[in-house]
Structure 1
Amino acid sequence: MSVQERKQRERAERERLIVATARELAERQGWEAVTTRRLAERIEYSQPVLYSHFRGKREIIGAVALEGAAELAAAVRAATAAADGPRERVAALARAYLDFAAHNPAVYDALFQLDGGLAYAREDTPEPLKDAFAALLESLGDVAGDGVHPALFTEVFWASLHGVATLTRAGRMRPEDAEQRVNLLVDRFAVV
């Protein structure tokens, strides 16, 4: 291995450490607790080293969001792969999405609530974000119905899931009705 390859590997490892540490800190204490000074202390590197990877917290949030998008896509695909039939796929998608949001609140915030400097719904949207949307579209395209564009249908279903996830987390919805909400949503959207 050349010196250049070793330096690239070490740089990639430091970057993964920064992102993992930011994510862990945000999940435990919220994004307000994530500062460059605190991250530098936790990873045992100086702030200039941290800034050599990311220009600031915004880019770190973006990196966490991209990582989270890949995980969300994988979770949705894993859940829907085992489902038989369109309705079951839509139900599995809804549960996987809501479970991801509930178990990864800081990552979910990085994806959909905070400014990570990422472009959404544009040509320059990063691939992990496009792939997360594609994972939703794969399960929803065949239930969109005649005359309805599958991507538009997916956006509306996604918006519904996002609303449920956000309102549930904020304590605006009763947790004991979660399964009924999913069933109602699936019944209304998964009309084949």
Structure 2
Amino acid sequence: MAIEDRRQRERIARRRLITATARTLAEREGWDAVTTRRLSAEIEYSQPVLYKHFGSMEDIVEAVALEGFGELAETLRAARRGGAAPGDEVGRAAAAYSDFAATNPALYDAMFTRSTRLRFAAQDTPAPLSEAFSELRAAVATVATARDVDTLTEVLWAALHGLAMLGRNDRLRPGHAADRIEVLVAQFRTAGN
């Protein structure tokens, strides 16, 4: 049993190394630079070892995205719970989401713009995706009043995503990200009153 436990720990460690290296490369050089050949060279594993853990590059991107959704959920949870001003959970969560997207562009791409098999609002939605949505939903619920919380959360998420992508691609005026978040959040705070 001890040998099998050790082998399992080693498999998990190799898998983490592969995803961490892919993420580091993507953040540094973009996802086009992340290939199995490049990963093999970076971590000094053969390509067959990579394929033993992941069937394709898409599987690696998907694993990175799942890690990202877990991190986003933690970020949103900490922002929602950690404010000095009770009652502004939606504002803190929106700002945290925006900061997360801005500081992790390649990770954010893996989560939201690269093609994966990950689906929201389905029976087989992976837990990290559901947890991230649930954290944003919990913040929105504080201002939803009688409105449909799930729909409001989807609208906020879509608006935050749009702002993140437009800002990152220089389609919006620089230096006004916080102002845009405040205007967006104000609409959610006052629409139910």
Same fold (TM over 0.5): yes
Question: Which amino acid letter does the alignment assign opposite residue 182 of structure 2?
Answer: N
User: Which residues of 2 match residues 7-156 of structure 1 at below 5 A?
Assistant: 7-83=7-83, 84-86=85-87, 88-146=88-146, 148-156=147-155
8 Å contact 1:60–1:116 — kept in the other structure?
A: no
8 Å contact 2:89–2:142 — kept in the other structure?
A: no
Q: Secondary structure at 1:173's aligned position in 2?
A: coil
Question: Which amino acid letter does the alignment assign opposite residue 144 of structure 2?
Answer: A
Distance in 2 of aligned mates of 1:56 and 1:175: 38
Question: Which amino acid letter does the alignment assign opposite residue 85 of structure 1?
Answer: P
Distance in 2 of aligned mates of 1:186 and 1:19: 34
Distance in 2 of aligned mates of 1:57 and 1:119: 18
Q: Quick one: percent identity of the two aligned structures?
A: 51
Q: TM-score when scaled to structure 2?
A: 0.95
Q: CA deviation at 1:82?
A: 1.9
**Number of residue pairs aligned between Structure 1 and Structure 2:** 190
Question: Which amino acid letter does the alignment assign opposite residue 79 of structure 1?
Answer: A
Q: Structure 2 stretches of 5 or more lacking a match?
A: none
Q: Structure 1 stretches of 5 or more lacking a match?
A: none
Aligned to 1:169: 168
Distance in 2 of aligned mates of 1:76 and 1:119: 20
Backbone CA RMSD of aligned residues: 1.1
Distance in 1 of aligned mates of 2:79 and 2:120: 24
Distance in 1 of aligned mates of 2:125 and 2:17: 24
Distance in 1 of aligned mates of 2:178 and 2:7: 50
Distance in 2 of aligned mates of 1:72 and 1:127: 12
